[in-house]
Amino acid sequence: MPSPRPRPRAVRVIVIALFVLAAAGVGLWTVLKKPETRSAEKLCTQLGAVTSLSSSLVTLDPTTLGPQVAELQRATSVAPSDIQAQLTVLASFVEELADAVRASPVDKKATLVAALAERQDRVDEVTAAGQAVEAWAITNCGVPLRTTTTQKSSTTTTRR
């Protein structure tokens, strides 16, 4: 007994349903793969998450250093073109230092000093990039990236 032939209307409905599903899949894929847009507002928000980077580098606390470096790297993905190059220089330098410190099983402060010494030829470039990023943050975000705190010494001398 020959199998019944599918009805033309049923075939059209199945083809249309498959087409709609394929279009929806392509649309979803496009939305998910869309690169993050760059803007001053997004960078200001992201830089707000990097507020303790300098203290994380000073203390070499791995619980704070890793997340701070990751936030700085994320900032490069949303940085507008007018500051992207400088932010990338700064972020890659900090990441290199953090990687060296994380890889050290012993004296992390000595490792940081050695890592800085190895990169001495880049200090001027990184300093200029850091100053440009900070100036940009002050102009566009209204906040400096560095916090200046003065700590009182535990030993004080009195003039008589």
Domain coordinates in residue numbering, the chain: 40-141
Mean local confidence (pLDDT), 92-100:
89
φ and ψ of 106, to 5 deg: -120, -125
Amino acid at 95: E
Q: At what angle do helices 81-103 and 62-78 cross, to 10 degrees?
A: 160
| Separation of alpha carbons 130 and 114, rounded Å | 21
Listed in sequence order, the residues at least 6 apart from 144 whose beta carbon sits closer than 8 Å to its beta carbon are 134, 137, 138
- The model carries a pTM of 0.65
Q: pLDDT grade, residue 84 (50/70/90)?
A: very high
**Position of tokens 């409905």?**
13
Q: What is the pLDDT of residue 36?
A: 61
pLDDT in tens, 117-134: 999 999 899 899 989 988
Mean local confidence (pLDDT), 81-103:
90
Taking only Cα atoms into account, the Rg of the chain, rounded to an integer number of angstroms, comes to 27
Give yes or no for residue 154 having a pLDDT over 60. no
